[in-house]
Structure 1
Amino acid sequence: MGTARCGAARPETRSGAEGSAVRRGGAERSGAAARLPGCPAATAMQGFVEFTNRSQGRERIFRATQYTCMLLSYVIERNADNDKLVLKLKQLESSMSSGRKMFRLGNVVHALVAARKTTELPEVLPRICLTASNLTRALYFFCDTVLWLKSVGLQSDINKAKWQNWATKCYYFSLLMNLARDWYEVSWRLEQAVQEEKMKENCFWDEQHQQLNSSKCKGLHGFLFLLFQILRSHPPLLLDVVKNLCDLSGPLDTLGIYKTNPGVIGFCGLLSSLVGILTLASPHLKLKE
């Protein structure tokens, strides 16, 4: 009977080799599962999910789509055979604009909180520029909310042209304040670069070499070269300048200050949207306040 019990128990046990194979297989499967999230495709998908989970991420995707439609419709509208495609692109552009207004609901509070934070900045000019920019952005978002109420039919008696003009002026002033802050950053770095050049020149004993270095930084060509070097060595500042300059095209055209065409506005808006997506996905590329 003891032998029978031992014999009955043997089929439930595995040999050492089989157990090792099972353990190795389980370890390989667990190792593969551990390696899967680290692969480039999985990392990219995870980053995309995190980006689109934020309302800012979705708004910027909508913005890029809106200006892409504007650019494409301008490029192909001269061909009479593409009337239907142009109409569809303009309808999609209008839908993206309405969707963006919905995503921006509540941004008034965000802008006011940002304005409160910027009042605590230690340097005077950035504090004034950024606070004024955030306050006017809050006004812009308020006007944008009123326009959204008009577009969905909740307030039909709103003067759309008047509120749109106010929104454009607020947005335009906010951009000017951002560019003033950018110029402050650039001029500060230009001053630092010039001082470094002077220190280097003082280290040279050869007078001819000193003349070469001093003439290199003189004139418009030297200034542009130095500006290029500064922007190239500070990507967040370069991206912020590009974004603000591109965003200016829309208000300048709407307010009649500098008339362009939908193609230019679409291209500038698309470029600005791509920069916004890049800085949101990679926060280290965003200019710090």
Structure 2
Amino acid sequence: MDAVIKFTSQSQGRDRIFRATQYACALAIYLLRNHSERKDLVAKLKSLEAHMSAGRKLFRLGNTANSIEAAKRTMQLSDRVLSLCLTVANINRALYFFCDNVLWARSVGLIRNIDKERWSVNASRCYFFSLVMNLTRDIYVVLRLMLQKARDKRCRQKMDQHLSESPEVAEAVIPQLDAFIFLLLESLKSDPALALDTLKNICDLFIPLDKLGIYQSHGGVIGFCGLMSSLIGIVTLARPTLRIKP
């Protein structure tokens, strides 16, 4: 119970619960779209989804400053690739939150003379670039882990054993590809935080891709990916050991 209270007392915790609810509603709306007898339920879910989205904007009001501070910290990282990826990601995240704050101000009537659609596209574009840089970081770390695994004698023996025990696989696919997949899976298994972060970023990527028209998805995909990402976010916030660092 204490863990639940501690989690919900954090603005990030509340935001992720709201986000999970928002995308769960989106997924449910898609699944119920052809059920005319559930029209009232769908209307309620749409209303709940809209309220969750609006509520999340309040929780994100101070996140621009947090992202700027995060960018300052990541600039100090000794690994220049990580530093570049994370700094650019945090800067874009700060810009995304700024656009989001402007949209919130417009929705409550504090600002009137702005192009809502333009600001929404800009927000999605910044969010997209932030996710791309975070995914680039994930790929970089995965490749670095794979190289370490490839040099590890015990891992090489395990890989050779795997290849020798699966001759039918070796005939069906390129052995180098099988070895690559083996190293990839071993690397992800050895670092659950990295695996979760990679999966989360991939799921999140579908949202701006759809909004920007780069890759159109239906509501079910967006709802499912958003829900998966939100649940991973809840898990990593509740279990800091599963949060990728830096």
- TM-score scaled by length of structure 2: 0.92
Correspondence for 1:166 among 110, 122, 128: 122
Aligned to 1:224: 181
Q: Give CA-to-partner distance per residue, 1:64-120, whole Å, 9 cap, x none.
A: 000000000100111111111111101100000000000000111000000000001
Counterpart secondary structure, 2:152: helix
Match of 1:176 among 122, 129, 132: 132
Distance in 1, Cα, partners of 2:215 & 2:190: 32
Q: Which residue of 2 aligns with 1:251?
A: 208
- Highest RCO, 1 vs 2 (Cα 8 Å, sep ≥ 6): 2
Q: 1:200 to 1:87 in 2, by over 3 A?
A: closer
Q: 1-side partners of 2:154 and 2:235: how far apart?
A: 36
Distance 2:27 2:3 in 1: 28
- 2:198 aligned with 1:260, yes or no? no
Is 1:240–2:177 an aligned residue pair? no
Question: CA separation in 2, counterparts of 1:166 and 1:265?
Answer: 19
User: Which residue matches 1:128?
Assistant: 84
The RMSD of aligned alpha carbons is 2.0
Q: 1:52 to 1:200 in 2, by over 3 A?
A: closer
Cα distance in 1, alignment partners of residues 73 and 45 from structure 2? 40
1:226 CA drift (Å): 1.6
Tell me what 1:118 maps to.
Answer: 74
Q: 1:92 aligns with which of 38, 42, 48?
A: 48
Q: Is 1:151 the counterpart of 2:107 in the alignment?
A: yes
SS in 2 for 1:248: helix
Q: In the alignment, what sits opposite 2:234?
A: 277
Q: Deviations over 1:8-36 (max 9, x none)?
A: xxxxxxxxxxxxxxxxxxxxxxxxxxxxx
Q: CA deviation at 1:189?
A: 0.6
Amino acid paired to 2:217: T
Q: Where do 5+ consecutive residues of structure 2 fail to align? A: none
Distance between the aligned counterparts of 2:90 and 2:156, measured in 1? 41
* Mapped contact 2:189–2:195 kept (Cα < 8 A): yes
In the TM superposition, residue 223 of structure 1 has moved relative to its aligned partner by 1.0
Match of 1:95, as an amino acid? H
Which amino acid is 1:233 matched to? S
Residue among 144, 147, 171 paired with 1:191 = 147
* Partners of 1:100 and 1:200 in 2: CA distance: 47
Task: Give every structure 1 segment of 4 or more consecutive aligned residues whose post-TM-superposition deviation is greater than 3 Å.
Answer: 197-201, 215-218
Distance 1:221 1:113, change over 3 A: same
Count of paired positions:
237
**1:218 Cα offset (Å):** 3.7
Percent of aligned pairs sharing the same letter: 49
Q: Which residue of 2 aligns with 1:52?
A: 8
Distance of 1:270 and 1:258 partners within structure 2: 19
TM-aligned CA deviation for residue 200 of structure 1 = 5.6
Q: 2:15, 2:59 within 8 Å by CA — same for their partners in 1?
A: yes
1:225 and 1:268 map into 2 onto residues whose CA distance is: 26
Given that residues 209 and 215 in structure 2 are in contact (C-alpha distance below 8 angstroms), is that contact kept between their aligned partners in structure 1?
yes
Q: 1:83 corresponds to which residue?
A: 39
Partners of 1:244 and 1:165 lie apart in 2 by: 19
> How many angstroms does 1:137 deviate by?
0.4
TM-score by length of 1: 0.78
Extract unaligned runs of 5+ from structure 1: 1-44, 202-207
- What is the CA–CA distance in structure 2 between the aligned matches of 1:85 and 1:154, rounded to whole Å? 33
Counterpart in 2 of 1:286?
Answer: 243
CA contact (8 A) 2:149 2:155 kept: no
